[in-house]
Amino acid sequence: MGLMSPEQFKASLNDGRVLYYKGEKIDDVANHPELSVCVESMAVDYHMAHDPKYADLAVVYDQKLGENISRYFHVPEDANDLLKMLDLIIEGTRMGDGYIPLAHDIGADALNAISITAHAMDNKDYIERIENYRNYLKKEDLAVVAAVTCVKGDRFLRPSDENQEHPDTYVRVVDKNEEGIVVRGAKAHISGAAYSNEFFVLPCRAMTEEDADYAVAFAVPANAKGIKQVARPVKTKISEHEFPIERPVRVITDSLIIFDDVFIPWERVFLCGEWQHAAMMVYNFALMHRRTGSAYRIPLTEQLVGVAQAIAEYNGVTRAPHVREKITDLIIYLETLKALARSACQEPVMYGGIPVPNPVTTNIAKYHFAHNYHDAVKIVQDLAGGLLVTAPTYKDYTHPDLSEDLDKYLVGKAGIPTEHRLRMFDLIRRLTRSEFEAIVLHGEGSMQAERMTIYAEARKVLKECKKIAEELAEIK
Ligand SMILES: Cc1cc2nc3c(=O)[nH]c(=O)nc-3n(C[C@H](O)[C@H](O)[C@H](O)COP(=O)(O)OP(=O)(O)OC[C@H]3O[C@@H](n4cnc5c(N)ncnc54)[C@H](O)[C@@H]3O)c2cc1C
């Protein structure tokens, strides 16, 4: 079939999937008045693949298949491939006004993590299955997301611990036969699942022998029998009290996916019972995915720097030393993120024949973004001033009795129209809304998960630094 057009992608979603949104069962996600906005955000990937401007980034010619495929499904060969993927994610997210399109990127992270694990296990069946599945994705250009995070129940207990409320807090195998396996359980927060063709399901933690039934990875179509998903509510319109904007609203939902005894044929199973390898699979996914996470935070950080500079100018305060200091902090925040994300790709490590972004740097990149995000927002809100929350609305501003007064009294620096200032307040409110704070902290794993990986992966650096110290102290 080759590269899907945005229209083909939208049509492909009318597949009988079982999806609930705001208490309603949704029959046609692509034509739903609200969810269609999210589908359009996801379709950005498909637009890019057909836009000659992005041809070098978004599309790769596959020699074996003799056709163009999405870069996301191409096996990265070197640092240059990782950098191209980084730039592709950044550009896609810029096109999505700060929202990553999601049609392929996180799925590609899962695809590569499964492939690396299969090679490390030296399991010929799994290697063959994942290669066949990769070719299927390349040929059909399907949207695929990664369902990793289980609902988990009591976080301190293992999946198989009998003190868990029930045995299904982590996705597990409940039956198997010659044809395949049957799985039960639920995955939470799965971004883009409501309008994805397929899901990659991976274990979300290390497993012990007792947890063997929970060490399972597979790919499944979104409309498979027994799958039910609930998408979280999102705002798909700007409020009528804000200044109207012509550009489309971009937003993505995340789903709770319930697997109620879903049958998975063997050719789609990539881990089943090999509990020793579950940790490696989730670890490799996290490494890939934190590179993706750092990349798509760059456009959001650019927006924060942009609104801070704009509102400081509109308020006439750019010459104040503390304002320059604060904007300098934001520039350091952005440029450090960019440098870390690029460096992680430039100095990869090879796992299972695939270059993986540098584990230390890629985790520092994601941690740096999440750890400093609230401070960055604080600067933007500080520079904006109180009108950020008290400014009269667009409807007041355009009211014939008020517009002249509001234009006169809400002006900032001379020469800058009052409307520009008010529009900027609208944008800052949208950009710094509180829901982003939790998204930033938890998306791609908690900050503690990043710190643990940094410490574990920095063994070599620690050893070298200790050697330097001992040499200086002349400890023989
Ligand atoms: C907007 C958004 C999108 C997401 N998209 C996806 C997606 O597409 N696919 C996907 O698979 N996942 C996705 N996630 C899930 C994300 O990776 C998780 O939210 C994250 O791993 C944290 O897990 P949790 O939400 O269950 O929180 P918890 O695990 O409950 O964490 C809450 C706190 O408890 C701590 N904690 C948890 N367990 C332990 C423990 N055993 N010991 C000590 N401390 C512990 C954590 O460090 C954290 O501080 C998304 C999350 C968000 C918010």
Q: How far is the CA of 442 from the centre of ligand 1 (A)?
A: 5
Which atom of ligand 1 sits closest to the CA of residue 449? 47
CB 270 within 8 A of CB 118: yes
- Tens of pLDDT, residue by residue over 314-347, are 999 999 999 999 999 999 999 999 999 999 999 9
- Tens of pLDDT, residue by residue over 169-195, are 999 999 999 999 999 999 999 999 999
Tell me, what amino acid is at 376?
A
Which atom of ligand 1 sits closest to the CA of residue 447? 47
Q: Please name the helix (run of DSSP H) or strand (run of DSSP E) that holds residue 365, with its range, or none.
A: helix 359-384
Please determine, for residue 373, whether its predicted confidence score (pLDDT) is greater than 80: yes
What contacts 24+ positions apart, CB below 8 Å, involve 134-138? 134/73, 134/75, 135/65, 137/73, 137/107, 137/111, 137/198, 138/62, 138/65, 138/69, 138/70, 138/73
Could you tell me the pLDDT band of residue 357, with boundaries at 50, 70 and 90? very high
Could you tell me the pLDDT band of residue 352, with boundaries at 50, 70 and 90? confident
**Continuous H helices in 247-358:** 278-315, 321-346
Arithmetic mean of pLDDT, 264-281: 98
Q: How far is the CA of 436 from the centre of ligand 1 (A)?
A: 15
Mutate which of 145, 232, 251, 442 for ligand 1? The one with the most ligand atoms within 8 Å of its CB, which is 442
DSSP 27: S
CB 173 within 8 A of CB 139: no
Ligand 1 pocket by C-beta < 6 Å: which residues? 106, 145-149, 152, 155-156, 189-191, 254, 438-439, 442-446, 448
> What is the side-by-side strand order in the sheet with 144-147?
144-147, 198-201, 216-221, 269-272
Please determine, for residue 1, whether its predicted confidence score (pLDDT) is greater than 80: no
Average pLDDT, the chain: 96
Tell me whether strands 227-231 and 19-21 are parallel, antiparallel or unpaired. parallel
pTM of the model: 0.93
Which atom of ligand 1 sits closest to the CA of residue 191? 8
Question: For atom 30 of ligand 1, which residue has the closest CA?
Answer: 155
Angstrom distance (rounded) from CA 273 to CA 221: 22
Question: For atom 45 of ligand 1, which residue has the closest CA?
Answer: 155
Please determine, for residue 443, whether its predicted confidence score (pLDDT) is greater than 90: no
- Tens of pLDDT, residue by residue over 70-93, are 999 999 999 999 999 999 999 999
pLDDT at 455: 94
User: 341 — phi, psi (to 5°)?
Assistant: -65, -40
Q: Please name the helix (run of DSSP H) or strand (run of DSSP E) that holds residue 260, with its range, or none.
A: strand 254-265
Mutate which of 145, 300, 446, 451 for ligand 1? The one with the most ligand atoms within 8 Å of its CB, which is 446
Arithmetic mean of pLDDT, 417-438: 93
Q: Which domains does the chain have, with CATH numbers?
A: 6-270 (2.40.110.10), 280-472 (1.20.140.10)
Could you tell me the pLDDT band of residue 476, with boundaries at 50, 70 and 90? confident
